[in-house]
């Protein structure tokens, strides 16, 4: 069993470090594929959350003899992206954003790896100062890995409300954390 397959085995056993390791290793590639298909950064981020949530739920069924971990995740990303694209095409009034000309490299470090201890303290303080509803939505998305749809279901709130809370919270954090 190779190293990547052992990470999936640990994930299937409930090892949260394995979930983090899997995400750190493959999220950039999953995001890049989703962005190429969807041409919308927000939708692509949702697909990344969906893929890693699905990977966690289905890790026990992964068979390394059938392919690589990266391939397994990319197949999920492709399927989820196409499903999302079809759903958007079924609703022609949905606005789509223009894809930026340049995409970040897939091997860019995860944001939490780039934070110094001082920056991490600033982020935690800024997060703690958000209104409860916004903070809860961000915590469910980033700490528990829930999609916005799953957050809406858990909080019994409309999806649009959750999207607004997350967007507003991220904007507030961005302003508060500017150097």
Instruction: Please give the domain boundaries of the chain with CATH numbers for all domains.
Output: 3-90 (1.10.1740.10), 111-176 (1.10.10.10)
- The secondary structure of 75-119 as a DSSP string is HHHHHHHHHHHHHHHHSTT---PPPPSS---TTPPPHHHH--HHH
Task: Tell me what pLDDT residue 141 has.
Answer: 79
With contact defined as beta carbons under 8 Å apart, do 72 and 62 qualify? yes
Phi, psi of 94, rounded to the nearest 5 degrees: -70, 130
Task: Tell me what pLDDT residue 92 has.
Answer: 63
Task: Tell me what pLDDT residue 103 has.
Answer: 46
Q: Which ranges of the chain have pLDDT less than 70?
A: 1, 92-117
Task: Note if the pTM is more than 0.75.
Answer: no
Sign of CA dihedral 58, 60, 62, 68: positive
d(C-alpha 141, C-alpha 148), whole Å: 7
Buried b (16+ CB within 10 A) or exposed e, 115-142: eeeeeeebbeebbeebeeebbbbbebbe
Task: Tell me what pLDDT residue 1 has.
Answer: 61
């Amino acid at each position: 069993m190779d190293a990547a397959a052992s990470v999936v085995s640990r994930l299937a056993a409930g090892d949260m470090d394995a979930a983090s390791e899997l995400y750190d290793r493959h999220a950039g590639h999953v995001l890049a594929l989703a962005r190429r298909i969807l041409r919308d950064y927000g939708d692509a981020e949702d697909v990344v959350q969906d893929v890693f949530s699905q990977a966690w739920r289905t890790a026990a069924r992964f068979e390394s003899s059938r392919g690589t971990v990266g391939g397994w995740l990319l197949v999920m990303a492709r399927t989820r992206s196409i499903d999302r694209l079809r759903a958007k095409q079924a609703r022609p009034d949905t606005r789509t954003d223009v894809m930026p000309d340049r995409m970040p490299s897939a091997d860019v470090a995860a944001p939490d790896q780039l934070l110094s201890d001082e920056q991490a303290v600033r982020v935690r303080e800024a997060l703690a100062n958000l209104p409860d509803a916004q903070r809860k939505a961000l915590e469910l998305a980033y700490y528990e890995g829930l999609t916005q749809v799953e957050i809406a279901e858990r909080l019994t709130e409309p999806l649009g409300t959750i999207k607004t809370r997350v967007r507003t919270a991220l904007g507030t954090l961005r302003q508060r954390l500017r150097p």
